[in-house]
Homo-oligomer: A and B are copies of this chain.
Amino acid sequence: MDDIGQKRRLGRRSTPHRGVRIQEVAKLAEVSTATVSRALASPQRVSPEKRARVLEAIAKTGYTPNLSARSLRSQKTGMILVVLPDLANTFFSRILRGIEETLFEAGYGMIISDLDGSPEKEAHFAAFTAAGRVDGAILLNGHLFGQSRDGQGRAAEIDMPIVALCESIPNADIPQIEIDNRAAARKMTQYLASRGHRRILYVSGPTGNVLERERYRGYRDGLRRAGLSFEPELVVPGDYTIESGMQAGRFIVEQRRRPSAVFCTSDEMAIGLIRVLLSAGIRVPQDISVAGFDDIEFAVVAEPALTTIRQPRQELGRAAASALIALLQKQETPRLIRLETELVIRDSVAEPRPSRDGRG
């Protein structure tokens, strides 16, 4: 006790820390600090008797290791950075939960960075990462730190375990976890065609987005396989938000020659679009069928209930976290993990009603 008291006095800290330190535990258990440390980190390497004494001393003192110190010494932080474009987007929350669960089980914590479209933030988090504050990162934003920026930020130099989730990152030699967007979009397009639709409007995601590129290809594939011709005027831009779905809806309402089915590449857009259609007196699915993508929680309670593509969101999160953990443990991990999607048939898609110009 005296020793510690003295040490305290000698220390030059400005804000005295009230926590118990490893020394105190060691003293109480009558072992060295190394033994206390080992008893915690690798119990099997300490004799049962001493281990018991250490554990007792820890319980008695309420000791919790200082993680900054541990970090500094071991060069590990136990923290993973999760970078995503928009925290407020429903789509991400379930994914986050999957990530969090898995990381937690493996003893890691999660630091979230909501990019919010700000390059400034991105630079900040790149620095953050470089500062050794995290052991690895999961990127949901479709590019590496500093990529698509000039070389001035040295972000690109970051060298640590990273995985890409959902939005794959081309040319990056890191594990990518995703769904087969192209196949999923093709599946939906073919389904729509199989119900008899011949004029299928496509509401896209943001231009340049990898997801969008793949889904668009899938749409074209589906059209081709169904023997339908592609018509450029049947592609309407969107950005996955409710608002952009509503805009697409307004566009459709104003048209003379309407599609018989609409394939929205997100559920949010589908829900917004349906709302506008309904308000304009266009019935769904009697007048126009609408399909979504993602199968968010609200898809099933939408009116009408949404026919959509289910993404295994929580599993995606878990898979990404697992891949990252494998990397951290220097284990082998596949470069590409593709999770299955499922066509979920509900009520928003029906046969087209017979149209005046002969066929759907």
With both chains docked as a complex, state the minimum distance between the C-beta of A351 and any C-beta of chain B, in angstroms.
21
With both chains docked as a complex, state the minimum distance between the C-beta of A210 and any C-beta of chain B, in angstroms.
23
Residue pair B104, A121 in contact (C-beta under 8 Å): yes
How many Å lie between the Cα of A128 and that of B79 in the bound state?
12
- For chain A, the count of residues having a C-beta within 8 Å of the partner chain is 61
Residue pair B96, A87 in contact (C-beta under 8 Å): yes
A100-B114, A121-B104, A275-B303 are contacts. A131–B67 as well, Cβ < 8 Å? yes
Give the residue name and chain of the B residue nearest to A284 (CB): B303
How many Å lie between the Cα of A246 and that of B159 in the bound state?
49
- Our pick among B13, B79, B87 for the contact of A93 (Cβ within 8 Å) is B87
Residues of B near A88 (CB, < 8 A) are: 93-94, 96-97
A231 proximal to B (CB < 8 A): no
Residues of B near A93 (CB, < 8 A) are: 87-90, 92-93
Residue pair A87, B97 in contact (C-beta under 8 Å): yes
A75 proximal to B (CB < 8 A): yes
Residue pair B301, A132 in contact (C-beta under 8 Å): no
How many Å lie between the Cα of A69 and that of B67 in the bound state?
11
Residue pair A246, B301 in contact (C-beta under 8 Å): yes
Residues of B near A130 (CB, < 8 A) are: 19, 62, 64
With both chains docked as a complex, state the minimum distance between the C-beta of A234 and any C-beta of chain B, in angstroms.
23
A8 proximal to B (CB < 8 A): no
Q: Which residues of A, 71-125, contact B by the 8 Å Cβ criterion?
A: 71-72, 75, 77, 79, 87-90, 92-94, 96-97, 100-101, 104, 109-112, 114, 116, 121, 124
How many Å lie between the Cα of A73 and that of B121 in the bound state?
26
Residue pair B242, A132 in contact (C-beta under 8 Å): no
Give the residue name and chain of the B residue nearest to A128 (CB): B109
Residues of B near A87 (CB, < 8 A) are: 93, 96-97, 100
Residue pair B75, A72 in contact (C-beta under 8 Å): no
User: Can you list the 4 inter-chain pairs with the closest CB atoms, starting with the nearest?
Assistant: A68-B71, A303-B303, A275-B301, A68-B72
8 contacts between A and B (CB under 8 A): A17-B132, A66-B131, A66-B132, A87-B93, A87-B100, A88-B93, A93-B93, A275-B300
Residue numbers of A with Cβ under 8 A of B are 13-15, 17-19, 62, 64-69, 71-72, 75, 77, 79, 87-90, 92-94, 96-97, 100-101, 104, 109-112, 114, 116, 121, 124, 127-128, 130-133, 154, 157, 159, 242, 246, 271-272, 274-275, 278, 297-298, 300-303, 305
